[in-house]
Structure 1
Amino acid sequence: MLTGKQKRYLRSKAHNLNPIFQVGKGGVNDNMIRQIEDVLEARELIKVSVLQNCEEDKDTVAEHLSRGAGAELVQVIGNTIVLYKESHENKQIVLPR
């Protein structure tokens, strides 16, 4: 579980990132969750964009992605979701205490 200070730090790191994944009409599926897990292992911090034609609510999509990938939900702002998961082999981000 992330503290408020850690979430603020991750939000500042994610500010200049571009969304890697887009959730559209098909919604969240198992293949997307596996791909997000792989990318989180490589990058630790990613953005996901929720398109307007997505049938699910952005908060529901964020919950599915974070629970499915075992990641921490850092932020939902607009139609963008920020996810963080500590990498086991490629650790890059050092969180403040």
Structure 2
Amino acid sequence: MNLTGKQRRYLRSIAHNLKPVFQIGKDGVNDNLISQIDDYLEIHEILKVSILQNSPEDKNDVAEKLALGTHAHVAQIIGKTIVLYRESKENKEIKLP
């Protein structure tokens, strides 16, 4: 399932006031990070990840790796910040339009 433009806009509006929860640094994306983000998404459904200046990875590559690793959707990439969304199995709170 891919997100529609309307759904992306809705998710961006929710994420607007959120602070980044995870940071990607010089170690890049690893299994431990993916596992932590996966757990966080199950509880909160949406989160921001920021990419630090010392990260060797491209923001699009990071977004793709995180989305694939957590089975999430990339709602937005703006600057060095990525917004990820995944519908929760247990704690569904966000209703997409």
Both structures adopt the same fold (TM-score exceeding 0.5): yes
RMSD: 0.4
Which residue is equivalent to 1:66? 67
Structure 1 residue 58, shift from structure 2 partner: 0.8
Report the CA distance between 1:47 and its aligned residue.
0.1
* Aligned mates of 2:18, 2:69 — CA distance in 1: 22
Q: List 4+ stretches of structure 1 deviating above 4 A.
A: none
Deviations 1:21-64 (A, max 9, x none): 00000000001001000000000000000001000111111110
What secondary structure does 1:41 align onto?
Answer: helix
> For residue 94 of structure 1, what is the amino acid of its counterpart?
K
Aligned residues, how many?
A: 96
| TM-score in terms of structure 1 length | 0.98
In 2, the alpha carbon distance for the partners of 1:79 and 1:19 equals 11
1:14 aligns with 2:12: no
Displacement of 1:65: 0.4
Unaligned runs of 5+ in 1: none
For the pair 1:81 / 2:82, whether they are aligned, the reply is yes
Give the counterpart letter for 2:79 in structure 1: G
Which residue number in structure 1 is paired with residue 49 of structure 2? 48
Q: Per-residue deviation at 1:66? A: 0.5
User: Please, what TM-score do these two structures have when normalized by structure 2?
Assistant: 0.98
